[in-house]
Structure 1
């Protein structure tokens, strides 16, 4: 005969156990500890405190401010990728906040501070330009807009310089079509950089080498019209003249169309 045996019920079974969870710390306490870290220059510790505010007290004013301060602390610590993530999150969550422009500025500066030398890939430079342009577009009257405009000019000059470097390389290898494509980018997209004069002269060189004299004459004419005292124009004029030609603009040329209404 089967006998039912009643098992004693323990006061606390293994299924009833709960992990001890530390209670949330007051938001103002954590936030002030983060500020203390910023004041002492310990940005890594500050970032952790602000992150805890955000984690423990989301959707509060303390949490909102903590996301911005996390961005600032990461930026000052040189943790630029983390600053981009938290700054972008702040702008996305709080686009109408008075501090949104500053968050976007920190995102842009995080990219800008990672701009490499001209021999390397310029992806960070392009992202810096995009981030600064967004700042100017969305907050044109903010206190950061003028700095953003200046940084855009510097970064675009860097991008143009990269195109020039590659174009010169192709030119040295007598890959004239490849060189023209690079110089065309400078002339079409970066007319207001310091590289445009040389780009026009290099187009004269490449087109003359290919025997496409009409485009060479147009490049020289536009260079002379906009930069008559340029050493690059003197070199272009000499090269054109050596072929029995003179600078003459063809208004149907892509070079003429690229400059129309931009310079001159």
Structure 2
């Protein structure tokens, strides 16, 4: 009985391989007489129709039959985009890396860095929701910094690129994300009485992310932490900076350095 079962499994496995091969051969047979332009147009239609797997197959066929020329080059870029839209970031990055190695001076290299930035930027699919709620604690900072690096390379090397404006806008959002992450950590330390660590994180926001929405709160955390550490003069000096720059600040209302629970404002 065991031999029969084993034999059956082998037959099924071979049948599966045969079916798979038939599927691949079918694509090759259907497109056998297609010109490079017809292959590319059909792949584009599949891409626009969100049939990403089918688009990738057609791009592969195009590249294998017509490995040289502008269609083959563009097919690589479009294939990377198809992988990106199909939630296959690693495959998309691999295609882009290969493209840059083969064509280090290509006229569309700005798009390579733009797409890399998009892949890293959207690695966390809930980022848009977090952006709206300013919930930065769980955002992948490694992905943030990679995205910022790609976008920064784009706007630096190709300032007139058609992708530069969008890249710059995304960089601004990423800066807010960096500041928000620092604030999330500063709040964590303050709530747990790690006042030196809270000061360091909040100070980093004030020094490096002044144009973000978190500067006001960072100053409040610094003032409170200094007070808890017995650094009265530093606490008062920081409070004056807070009141000068944010005269209507909710953190300045009824401020008492020794006991005001700043975290009551945080959700």
- TM-score, normalised with respect to structure 1: 0.72
Aligned residue number for residue 166 of structure 1: 185
The residue matched to 2:93 in structure 1 has which SS? helix
Structure 1 residues 172-225: Cα deviation after superposition (integer angstroms, max 9, x where no partner): 110111212221222232222111111111011111110123332332233333
Deviation, 1:89, is 3.6
Return the alpha-carbon distance in structure 2 between the equivalents of residues 142 and 176 of structure 1. 46
Return the alpha-carbon distance in structure 1 between the equivalents of residues 47 and 223 of structure 2. 55
Return 5+ residue gaps in structure 2 as ranges: 1-27, 131-135, 260-267
Q: Where is the helix percentage greater, Structure 1 or Structure 2?
A: 2
| 1:175-186 aligned within 5 A | 175-186=194-205
- TM-score, normalised with respect to structure 2: 0.71
Residue in structure 2 matching 1:105, options 76, 90, 114: 114
CA RMSD, aligned part only?
Answer: 2.9
Aligned residue number for residue 223 of structure 1: 242
Residue in structure 1 matching 2:62, options 30, 53, 61: 53
Is contact 1:81-1:110 (8 Å) kept?
A: no
Is contact 1:88-1:104 (8 Å) kept?
A: no
Task: Select the structure of larger CA radius of gyration.
Answer: 1
Residue in structure 2 matching 1:189, options 196, 208, 213: 208
Going from structure 1 to structure 2, the CA distance change for 1:214 and 1:90 (only over 3 Å counts) comes to farther
Residue in structure 1 matching 2:81, options 51, 67, 72: 72
Deviation, 1:86, is 2.2
Aligned residue number for residue 14 of structure 2: none
Is contact 2:137-2:180 (8 Å) kept?
A: no
Return 5+ residue gaps in structure 1 as ranges: 1-21, 244-264
